[in-house]
Amino acid sequence: MTTHSPISRRHLFGAASAVAAATVGRAALAALPEPARRDSAATAAPPLPPDGRPYRPVVTLNGWSAPWRTRDGVKEFHLVAEPVVREIAPGMVAQLWGYNGQSPGPTIEVVEGDRVRIFVTNRLPEATSVHWHGQRLPSGMDGVAGLSHPAIPAGRTFVYEFTARRPGTFMYHPHADEMVQMAMGMMGLWITHPKAAHPHIARVDRDYAFLLNAYAIEPGSATPRPSEMTNFDLWTWNSRACPGIDSLPARQGDRVRIRVGNLTMTNHPIHLHGHEFTVTGTDGGPVPPAARWPEVATDIAGGQMRQIEFIADEEGDWALHCHKSHHTINAMGHDVSNLIGVDHRGLAGRIARVVPDYMAMGERGMEDMAGMGARMPLPDNTLPMMTGTGPHGPLGMGGMFSVLKVRRGLARDDYRDPGWYAAPPGTVAREWTGPGPAAPSAAAAPVPAGAAGMQVHKPGHHHGH
Ligand SMILES: [Cu+2]
């Protein structure tokens, strides 16, 4: 695996441009839409569509939507596959592959019935392709290198063109050396909005979208290890890990949609606190209302997407996270020994003299580590395993964790972090400082011998009550 420093990235960029100019020709290159680029991992305020049918845009968490150019009634986008530098969270950057300056690439938003043309320029050191996950399209546009069309060689630009036939939440990613290219971060979201009122698609006040992804990046390094299948140490949403994932603000009473696509190699049960939601859509399309049921967690398998919806009617700060507890921590960085229940006072210090950075699981669990980020010696460019600070102390979370922030009186399109919830007096769990429990009463009836044992019901021998 080669690694790309920012310097070699710039070098590659220039070299690839020269190759493209020589092979595509000046006239064809002049016809390409200027590729939009973004260097920041902040959530971009969604722009309203400048032309074409109107829609309410999605908010891509820590991401953005691609601008387009309309030519002869066709929406033209330009994706540039290239090495990128992505901040995973403050204190850690990763050298990934992505599109247009970021991983994931920009979200493509179109309207049902739109004719769409996507130019894909390959500035990677190897061939790639783009598969439009979930779309109905001509088979030659499906992006499986070698099956649908030849792979896009390094330095070349290919054109995909099809009609966005059905509304829904979709994804895009390579189908060429995909083990490497997806492990390196090449993916993006595709949203097709309905062209008119749809019986199974509600109008929502806030429409969030993110992809589940995962990286195997050794502590102290910056480039993912693409051969990894199970032992990932960074569980991310849109290539961001807690505390780097932006919160999801909502005005109290808003109807909120969250679209989640999974491009990892395992499933993720996504859990929302304080509200019930229904799954209103999958990558197969909108779910008819009669087929929906309430949930507080929904499992999303690899290659699936789920659209959940709810009314944000409870004010407060509500966790939204993967329910696999190993997915809400960051890189362990050590083979952590399990010493729960073992008194190891002094042991860690003695081992640390022999093994630098040695860390044992505390004999009282690992909660002590939650506030340890600042004190623990960590290799450079490594996130603490449990991190983040809430209004009441260390959060002790990492990975796939963010917060739905429901507030009264937020402005309609205000996506700025409203800060921590100021809970009304008397509504926060607190330490009990009253008297302890009464001593067990000797007057309690003794348990008759055998009462706690198993009762055997013989066939044909009915016990009445
Ligand atoms: Cu998970």
Q: Is residue 292 located within the same domain as residue 358? A: yes
Contact 90, 132 (CB under 8 A): no
CA 271 / ligand 1 centre spacing (Å): 10
Cα separation, 208 vs 217, whole angstroms: 27
Contacts with 35 (C-beta within 8 Å, 6 or more apart), sequence order = 78, 79, 80, 100, 121
Measure Cα distances from 8 to 2, 36, 84, 125 in Å.
11, 21, 11, 11
Task: Give the pLDDT score at 387.
Answer: 72
Cα separation, 15 vs 428, whole angstroms: 59
CA 242 / ligand 1 centre spacing (Å): 13
Q: Is residue 192 located within the same domain as residue 218? A: no
Q: Is residue 146 located within the same domain as residue 41? A: yes
50 part of a folded domain = yes
Sheet holding 168-173: strands in order across? 108-111, 188-193, 168-173, 131-133
CA 402 / ligand 1 centre spacing (Å): 13
Nearest by Cα to 322 from 271, 246, 395, 264: 271
Highest mean pLDDT among 345-354, 380-389, 423-432, 440-449: 423-432
CA 172 / ligand 1 centre spacing (Å): 20
CA 83 / ligand 1 centre spacing (Å): 26
pLDDT by residue (tens digit) across 205-219?
999 999 999 998 888
CA 324 / ligand 1 centre spacing (Å): 5
Cα separation, 128 vs 174, whole angstroms: 6
Determine which of 43-52, 229-238, 383-392 has the lowest per-residue pLDDT on average. Answer: 383-392
Determine which of 49-58, 298-307, 353-362 has the lowest per-residue pLDDT on average. Answer: 353-362
CA 418 / ligand 1 centre spacing (Å): 26
Q: Is residue 167 located within the same domain as residue 229? A: no
Residue 370's pLDDT band (cuts 50, 70, 90): low
CA 63 / ligand 1 centre spacing (Å): 20
pLDDT more than 90, % of the chain: 62
CA 91 / ligand 1 centre spacing (Å): 22
Q: Is residue 266 located within the same domain as residue 156? A: no
Average per-residue pLDDT for the chain: 83
Q: Is residue 177 located within the same domain as residue 284? A: no
Q: Is residue 179 located within the same domain as residue 259? A: no
204 part of a folded domain = no
Q: Is the pLDDT of residue 444 over 60?
A: no
Q: Is the pLDDT of residue 269 over 80?
A: yes
CA 61 / ligand 1 centre spacing (Å): 17
Residue 440's pLDDT band (cuts 50, 70, 90): low
* Residue 358 lies in domain: 214-407
pLDDT top residue among 411 and 387 = 411
Q: Is the pLDDT of residue 16 over 50?
A: no
Residue 393's pLDDT band (cuts 50, 70, 90): confident
* CB under 5 Å of ion ligand 1: residues: 268, 322, 324, 327
End-of-domain residue from the set 380, 407, 434: 407
Nearest by Cα to 259 from 244, 277, 240, 234: 277
Cis before 425? omega within 30: no
Q: What is the CATH number of the domain that holds 245?
A: 2.60.40.420
Determine which of 121-130, 150-159, 226-235, 291-300 has the lowest per-residue pLDDT on average. Answer: 226-235
Find the mean pLDDT for residues 307-316: 97
CA 321 / ligand 1 centre spacing (Å): 8
pLDDT by residue (tens digit) across 152-207?
999 999 999 999 999 999 999 999 998 899 989 999 999 999 999 999 999 999 99
End-of-domain residue from the set 172, 198, 224: 198
pLDDT top residue among 340 and 321 = 321
Give the Cβ contact number of residue 129 at 10 Å. 27
Q: Is the pLDDT of residue 235 over 70?
A: yes
CA 120 / ligand 1 centre spacing (Å): 31
CA 216 / ligand 1 centre spacing (Å): 14
Q: Is the pLDDT of residue 312 over 80?
A: yes
Q: Is residue 272 located within the same domain as residue 190? A: no
Task: Give the pLDDT score at 20.
Answer: 41
In the chain, the number of structural domains is: 2
Highest mean pLDDT among 244-248, 345-349, 461-465: 244-248
CA 212 / ligand 1 centre spacing (Å): 8
